[in-house]
Amino acid sequence: MQTPHGHATPMPYMPLIRHPFMIAMELGGQWGYQIDTGLEGDGIVYGPGRWPFYRNGRPAAVRLSPDVAYSAWHVHYVLASPAGFDQVQLLMHCHDDTIGSRMASVYAHLDLARRRVVVAEALTDHLRWQAAGKARRVLDYVDAAYADRLVHNRPVTAEMRAAATATRTYT
| Per-residue model confidence (pLDDT) at position 90 | 94
Please answer whether residues 159 and 39 qualify as being in contact, where contact means their C-beta atoms are separated by less than 8 angstroms: yes
Torsion over CA: 120, 121, 127, 130 (sign): positive
Residue 58's Cα: distance from chain center in Å?
A: 19
Residue scoring higher pLDDT (81 or 163)? 81
| Per-residue model confidence (pLDDT) at position 47 | 94
| Per-residue model confidence (pLDDT) at position 46 | 93
Please answer whether residues 56 and 43 qualify as being in contact, where contact means their C-beta atoms are separated by less than 8 angstroms: yes
Which of the four pLDDT bands, split at 50, 70 and 90, describes residue 82?
very high
Strands 87-95 and 33-35: unpaired
| Per-residue model confidence (pLDDT) at position 138 | 94
User: What mean pLDDT comes out for the span 49-76?
Assistant: 85
pTM of the model: 0.78
Which of the four pLDDT bands, split at 50, 70 and 90, describes residue 29?
low
List, in order, residues 6 or more apart from 25 with CB less than 8 Å away. Answer: 95, 100
Task: Count Cβ atoms below 10 Å from residue 92 Cβ, excluding itself.
Answer: 22
User: What mean pLDDT comes out for the span 72-84?
Assistant: 83
Digit-coded pLDDT (tens) for 97-155? 655 567 788 899 999 999 999 998 888 888 888 889 889 999 999 999 999 999 999 89
The count of residues in the chain is 171
Cα–Cα distance, 119 to 32 (Å, whole number)? 19
Which of the four pLDDT bands, split at 50, 70 and 90, describes residue 2?
very low
Print burial letters for 100-137: b (CB count within 10 Å at least 16), e (below 16): eeeebebebebebeeeebbbeeebeeebbebbbebbeb
Task: Count Cβ atoms below 10 Å from residue 35 Cβ, excluding itself.
Answer: 25
| Per-residue model confidence (pLDDT) at position 31 | 80
